Structure 1
Amino acid sequence: MEKVVVSVLLSVFLGFVLLFVGLFLGVSFFVGREKSSPFECGFDPIGSSRVPFSLRFFLLAVIFVVFDVEIVLLFPAVMVVGSSWVWVGGYVMLLVFLVLLFVGVIHEWREGSLEWES
């Protein structure tokens, strides 16, 4: 028990030491107008630095991430489908998950979020 307390205290102490070292090394001592201005290959900045982006592209990227995570969740189910120790409830849950995934794709398709051009 004493070893656990000592190791936890040592970890917390080491964490604080690394935090303060990072804060000290991250401080910029030379702050001026030139340092805080945006740099574009030696030229004065042209236009705004806040460039509007396509909301459709953002939504498509979010949809990709969501379905990518769902595909990763399917990997264990695919590995277990052929084995004999899976109970019927597992197959039902897999089927419900796939149906929800399919309904989500159909919804996004009807909404037009999967269209590349518009």
Structure 2
Amino acid sequence: MEKVVVSIVLSVLLGLVLLLLGLFLGFSVFGGREKSSPFECGFDPVGSSRVPFSLRFFLLAVIFVVFDVEIVLLFPIVLGVGGCWLWVNSYLVLFVFLGILLVGVVHEWREGSLEWGE
């Protein structure tokens, strides 16, 4: 019990030291109009910053994030298949999960969200 308390106290102290070090090193006394503006290259901004973006690109980015998370969820199962420690129920859950993902990909494909060019 005593070792647990010591490790918790050391972890909290290390976190506080790193936080204070980051605040101290991140503090800047040099500032001005150029440093506070979003354009530091010396040119004045041209045009409006409210340019409309492509909704198709946004949907494609969301699809990418969904399938990126899916890879993270499948990674432990891939490691388990190599070691043969998965049970029959685990395989059933794996195939249901992959089936749901496959239905999602087919839906996005038929909807046209996966098309890059028009």
- 8 Å CA contact retained: 1:56, 1:113: yes
Unmatched segments (≥5 aa) in structure 1: none
- State the alpha-carbon separation in 2 of the partners of residues 43 and 30 from structure 1: 21
- 8 Å CA contact retained: 2:60, 2:113: yes
User: Percent of counterpart pairs with the same letter?
Assistant: 76
Q: Which residue does the alignment assign to 1:67?
A: 67
| TM-score, normalization by structure 2 | 0.74
- 8 Å CA contact retained: 2:60, 2:114: yes
Q: Which residue does the alignment assign to 1:29?
A: 29
- Matches of residues 71-86 of structure 1 in structure 2 within 5 Å? 71-75=71-75, 76-77=77-78, 80=81, 83=84, 86=86
What is the Cα deviation at residue 81 of structure 1? 8.1
Report how many aligned residue pairs link the two structures. Answer: 117
Q: Which residue does the alignment assign to 1:105?
A: 105
1:90-111 residue CA offsets vs partner (Å, 9 max, x unmatched): 3322221221111111221233
Q: Which residue does the alignment assign to 2:114?
A: 114
Q: Which residue does the alignment assign to 1:47?
A: 47
Unmatched segments (≥5 aa) in structure 2: none
Q: For the structure 1 residues 7 and 98, does the alpha-carbon distance in structure 2 shift closer, same or farther, using more than 3 Å as the test?
A: closer
Q: For the structure 1 residues 40 and 71, does the alpha-carbon distance in structure 2 shift closer, same or farther, using more than 3 Å as the test?
A: same
| TM-score, normalization by structure 1 | 0.74
- 8 Å CA contact retained: 1:77, 1:94: no
Matched position secondary structure for 2:67? helix
Q: For the structure 1 residues 104 and 16, does the alpha-carbon distance in structure 2 shift closer, same or farther, using more than 3 Å as the test?
A: same
Q: For the structure 1 residues 88 and 49, does the alpha-carbon distance in structure 2 shift closer, same or farther, using more than 3 Å as the test?
A: same
Q: For the structure 1 residues 60 and 29, does the alpha-carbon distance in structure 2 shift closer, same or farther, using more than 3 Å as the test?
A: same
Matched position secondary structure for 1:47? coil
